[in-house]
Amino acid sequence: MKQFQYVRPTEAGLAINALLKDSGAKFVAGGTNLLDLMKRGIEAPERLVDINRLPLKEITKNDQGFNIGALTLNSSLAEHKDIRKDLPLLSQALLAGASAQLRNMATVGGNLLQRTRCPYFYDTSMPCNKRLPGSGCGALKGFNRMHAIFGASEHCIAVNPSDMNVALSALDAIVQLSGPKGKRNIPIQDFHRLPGDRPELDSVIGKNELITGISIPTSALKHVHYLKIRDRSSYAFALVSVAAALDLEGTTIRWASLAMGGVAHKPWRLTEVETFLAGQQISAGLFQEAGTLAMRGAKAYEHNEFKLKLAPLSIGHALSIASGLVKA
C-alpha cells in the first residue's frame, strides 16, 4: 500500500475542506472496498479522510418516509425495526449482500459508491478503461460471464455490484450530497451513470462532494421480494438480481416497481414493464410476459448469454413471490 496522510475530522464541513485541500485525497468510511483497492494498488490516495466520526448515523422516520444517515452500517439498516416493517425490500437486499462481518463495517454511503467487481478492473496487468482511461476494455472480448447485458458501451461492460442500490432504485430513493458549493439531492436513478465513453465515472458525485444520507419516500408497494441469483447460495455477487415491489388490490396490480442488478453499470429500472403491469391481474403468464418485455434491448457477450434466459425467468419468479402466487 502506498503511503498516505491520515486525518479524522469530526464535522462534515471539515471533512469536505480536508478533501478540497488535496486533489489526491479520498474519504474512507467502512473501508471494505477502498482498503481492498488500496492493497491492490488500484487506489492510491495521498490523504485518507476518515469520516467515521461524523454525526451521520441516524435513521429517522416521518410522514414523508425515511431519512438515513450516510454512515449507517449496512447491518444496522437491515436490522432496523421500522425498516424491516416498512421497507422489507431494502432489508432483504442488504442481507443478500456481502457477509455479516462486512455488513458490520460497510456504510450506506460507501455501498452507493461501491466499485465494480469486474476482474479486469481488479487486475492491474490487464487493460481497463475504468481503472486506466484509454487502456481498453479487457472484458469486451475476455471472460465476461459476470458482465452487463444492458446499457454497456464499447469502452466498458462492467456492472454495479451492489444489492442495496437495486432496492433503493425500486424504492425511488434520493441521494443527499454536500459539497463546497452547497447541498443537492439526486434521485437514485440519476445518481449512477452508464459507462458511455467515461467509464471511470461510476456516478455523478462531484470531486469534493460528500454523501450525507439518503431519503426514501413512504411506499404503497407492500408486496415485495428481492431475488438474488448467484454461483453459490450465499456471500457472492449477483449474476442477476431483481427487486420487485407491487401495490395490490386483491389480485389486481395497482402499480409495480421493478429494478435489476448484475445486468448494467447502474441499477436497471424497468419502467416500461411497470407500466405494462399496472391494472393487470396477477398470473404466472403475466409475469412471464413481463420478463420477456424486460429483455427488450438486451445484448449479450461471449460468456454471459445465459443472462438473456436467466434474467426474464428471475423477473417472473420475483414477481410471483412478491405477489404471493408462489412461496419464497
By the criterion CB under 8 A, which residues form the site for another protein? 1-6, 8, 22-24, 28, 30-32, 35-36, 39-40, 44, 46, 48, 50, 52, 75, 79, 98-102, 104-105, 234-235
Nearer to another protein, 200 or 247 (CB): 200
Nearer to another protein, 201 or 278 (CB): 201
Which stretches of the chain are DSSP H helices? Answer: 12-20, 34-39, 74-79, 81-86, 88-96, 100-103, 108-112, 119-122, 164-170, 188-191, 271-277, 284-294, 307-323
Q: Helix 307-323 vs helix 284-294: angle between axes, to the nearest 10 degrees? A: 140
Nearer to another protein, 8 or 61 (CB): 8
Nearer to another protein, 102 or 300 (CB): 102
Which grid cell is 291? Answer: 420478463
Strands across the sheet with 210-217, in order? 59-62, 65-69, 210-217, 174-179, 182-187
Which grid cell is 78? Answer: 437491515
Nearest-approach distance from CB 29 to another protein, in angstroms? 9
Nearest-approach distance from CB 52 to another protein, in angstroms? 6
Nearest-approach distance from CB 269 to another protein, in angstroms? 28
Instruction: Evaluate whether 167 touches 89 at the Cβ level (below 8 Å).
Output: yes
Nearest-approach distance from CB 73 to another protein, in angstroms? 8
Instruction: Evaluate whether 54 touches 27 at the Cβ level (below 8 Å).
Output: no
Nearest-approach distance from CB 327 to another protein, in angstroms? 15
Nearer to another protein, 43 or 202 (CB): 43
DSSP conformational letter for 146: T
